[in-house]
Amino acid sequence: MRTSSVWRKTAAAALLAALPVAASAKIVFTGYGDLRYNTGLRQEVTAAPATAAAIGAQTGSLISRGFSADAIGLFAATEVQENLQFLTDITFRRIGTQVNQLSLQYAYLHWTPLANTAFNAGKLTLPFGYYNENRFYSFQRTTIIAPVFASGILGLPIADWGVSGSQQLPLKGVTPELTAYVVNGYGSVPGTKTSMRSAALPGGLALANNIGATDNNNKPSVGTRLRLKEIGGAPVEVGASYYYGLWDSSALEPMTMVGSHAHASAYKFDVIAEILHLNVRGDQGFVRSIGDTSWSSTGGFVVLAYQAPPVLGKAITPYLQGEYFRSKPNNGDAERETMRTLTGGAMVRLSNQVQLKGEYLHLIYEIPDRANAGFLRLDADGAFLSLVVTF
Amino acid sequence: MTRAIGPLFRVCLLLFLACRAQAAGTPTVVVFLEQDDERSQRIGGIVQSRLKEKADVRWFPYSTENMSNPIYRGRLIASLSHAQLVVAIGDNPTGLVLGELDETPVYFIGVSLISGTLMQSPRISGLMNYSADDVFANMPKAWSRGFGILYTPGYEPVVDSIKAAARLAGVTIHERRVAQRGALPQSAESLMEDSPAIWVLGDPLLVREASFEFLIERSLAERVPLVSPSASATRQGAVFHSQAKAEDLAARASKNILALLKTGTTDPRPRIDLPPSGGLLLYHQAAAQRFGLAPKPPTWVKLQ
């Protein structure tokens, strides 16, 4: 009894020691706006009649043009106590007379108990690859349009509720960093239990909608990333990422993502390259398109930018971005979903807070319709202007 | 063994509480400086080494690229506002913290260009980059009678320090306070009538764009050389500016900061200090020739 009393007192003392020192916290608001002008996007949809009917697509040619606010985002940061920050991003999209889309991009506690150790808890941007954390926002990148498969299908930023921990080890000539996380994970298409992607449902081809407010099954998803940063003391980084989770409501079917990335910034060039392999089993939704409940996507993108000599005192950065992704059934059949994009443009930094961008996009997207022995193809070409303001 | 746990536990508890008291009493000082500026890094390193036993010192870098990222800037300002004291080294970091932090005490080091309005708060103290002792010891003797000072509201502590140095050096001072841009022409011209040379203190209202172009133009017309606060202003046509030695700045700043931490107030005397002599006067060769001034090495060094 005496021993248990001592242990209780010891536990109480440890709790006392762990209590934070009181501190006042100031909330800092910053933000950005991405205003766009579509100078004329031509979209040509070609599909077999049965496919068009099943998907609800309108075939033919369509031209769209006009101004829009792609996003207006508000960031809030506060230091709750030393080495503990709360960070959040609220983004407004599809703004007309009302805001039709309001997203909590991230909201998490960031704790750095030691100089090279960090923990995050909340809705966190997944530490997968490089682009997701470092180039998602328009003010972080030179391009107007992010790689389409990553942003439109996978859903950038990939952010989910959970916890993560990372440890850096600064060495001479390189800094390895290992990150591990546990999150709710991707689930099924909203309103279904066994569909990961479904061309028959509006928005059902995009995985972005599959991350919900809660876990749709009783199994969390896990992931890890190992990267080597500051290679040779330069802004050069390579890394590999892995994600695994059971996505369906019965928690029987796995989804894995494996990726690798490289980023280098030297001699006025900046290049990012990412490769992704996505493997899904048991998808009753995409089988209608791809012909198998088990399918995989493989592809990647490259972004190359160059800091040209300034013109009239303004920094100009021309760039090229290329992307190719292919999804196929794991049973060896010939069906293929493909996404190919090529964009080129230039960014002018008018001031520290204002960027002006102009870009041309060429996109080809094809998806089979195995159920109707059909197909759908989207060809799109267009030019965009974007004004990005940070405040 | 079990009997020893009780007293051992009491010792541990006392140690825990003592550590908590120590942690609560150790002030957090953030050093905020230009990421790629070697001089700022040297100053910061000396300051950190002198403070490390009295404070928990953390470093944050400033770069133009990082500051244009609103996520980074927000997180940085949140961290800075949590510190007990922010030590800002250089013009850009100082300008940012003075503009963004409402309540956190700030001590700046090595500043040449700063708005006088931002310096008026009693929680702001610091050490300028230029030395009045160096200017008075090395300027032409003919400038000693009626040497002019042109300044803006907020610079009164700096002017007081300059006048104190002037008394020791046997220099008489004429001063003009410019409250707003519209008053600049009249103030400058009346000062040029009275003074053989004018020291323009580094408020952007006086040294940026059209204002300083006007002063340079009048300086040439009236044959009244200008002493500038910074390299950029010297390059525009002032004769020279003073730059204190980094080590001297760091030593004087460390002393002031330790006094600040000890007294817990933001009011050391003087609140805005000037560094001691021992630095350089960096001169504009063409301007010096124009006014017939002979550089005096080793203190006078040509500005590259």
The stretch B282-291 carries a mean pLDDT of: 92
Structure token digits, residue B90: 């250089």
**Ordered domains of chain A (ranges, CATH):** 27-40+68-350 (2.40.160.10)
Under 8 Å between Cβ of A172 and A229:
no
Q: Which pLDDT score is estimated for A243?
A: 97
Residue-by-residue pLDDT tens, chain A, 391 positions: 444 455 554 554 444 444 444 445 789 999 999 999 999 999 999 998 888 888 788 889 999 999 988 889 999 999 998 889 999 999 998 777 777 788 899 999 999 999 899 999 999 999 999 999 999 999 999 999 999 988 888 888 899 999 999 999 999 999 999 999 999 999 888 888 888 888 877 767 778 778 877 787 888 999 999 999 999 999 999 999 999 999 988 888 999 999 999 999 999 999 999 999 999 999 998 888 888 999 999 999 999 999 999 999 899 999 999 999 999 999 988 888 999 999 999 999 999 899 999 999 999 999 988 888 888 999 999 999 999 999 9
Is the pLDDT at B5 greater than 60? The verdict is no
Contact B71 A30 (CB under 8 A): yes
* Nearest chain B alpha carbon to A23: B82
The stretch B226-238 carries a mean pLDDT of: 93
Contact B9 A77 (CB under 8 A): no
Provide, as residue numbers in chain A, all residues whose Cβ is less than 8 Å from the Cβ of B56: 82
Q: Which pLDDT score is estimated for A374?
A: 85
Same fold, B8-128+246-273 and B132-243+278-302: yes
* Nearest chain A alpha carbon to B2: A3
| pLDDT, tens digit, 9 for 90 and up, residues B197-212 | 999 999 999 998 889 9
Structure token digits, residue B217: 């133009």
Can you tell me the distance from the alpha carbon of A207 to that of A159, in angstroms, rounded to the nearest whole number? 12
Which residues lie across from B243 on neighbouring strands?
Answer: B280
Q: Which residue in the set A19, A78, A140 is minimally distant from B78, CB to CB? A: A78
Is the pLDDT at B14 greater than 50? The verdict is no
Q: Which pLDDT score is estimated for A150?
A: 85
pTM exceeds cut of 0.90 = no
* One-letter amino acid for residue A361 of the chain: L
Q: Which residue in the set B20, B70, B75 is minimally distant from A391, CB to CB? A: B70
Band of pLDDT at residue B265, cut at 50, 70 and 90 = low
Q: Which residue in the set A3, A16, A139 is minimally distant from B16, CB to CB? A: A16
Q: Which pLDDT score is estimated for B268?
A: 63
DSSP-H helix ranges across A49-166: 49-55, 131-134, 148
Contact A21 B68 (CB under 8 A): no
Q: Which pLDDT score is estimated for B24?
A: 53
- Which chain B residues touch A if contact means CB-CB below 8 Å? 2, 5-6, 9, 12-13, 16-17, 19-20, 23-24, 28, 56, 64, 67-71, 73-75, 77-79, 81-82, 100, 102-103
Q: Which pLDDT score is estimated for A198?
A: 84
Angle, CA of B64, B67 and B71, to the nearest 5°: 150
By DSSP bridging, strand B226-228 and strand B106-111 are unpaired
Longest dimension (CA), chain B: 92
Contact A139 B20 (CB under 8 A): no
Domain locations in chain B? 8-128+246-273, 132-243+278-302
* Nearest chain B alpha carbon to A4: B2
Backbone angles phi, psi at B68, to 5 degrees: -85, -5
Is the pLDDT at B9 greater than 60? The verdict is no
Which of B16, B57, B75 has the most A C-beta neighbours within 10 Å, making it the best mutation to test the interface with A? B75
Confirm or reject CATH 3.40.50.2300 for domain B8-128+246-273, answering yes or no.
yes
Spell out the CATH class of B132-243+278-302. alpha beta
| Measured distance between the N- and C-terminal CA atoms of chain B, rounded to whole angstroms | 75
In order of A127, B33, B65, B67, B196, the CA distances from B101 in angstroms are 31, 16, 20, 15, 40
Can you tell me the distance from the alpha carbon of A261 to that of A241, in angstroms, rounded to the nearest whole number? 8
ipTM exceeds 0.95? no
Chains A and B: how many Cβ contacts under 8 Å? 90
Tally Cβ neighbours within 10 Å of residue B133: 21
Is the pLDDT at B157 greater than 60? The verdict is yes
Q: Which pLDDT score is estimated for B281?
A: 94
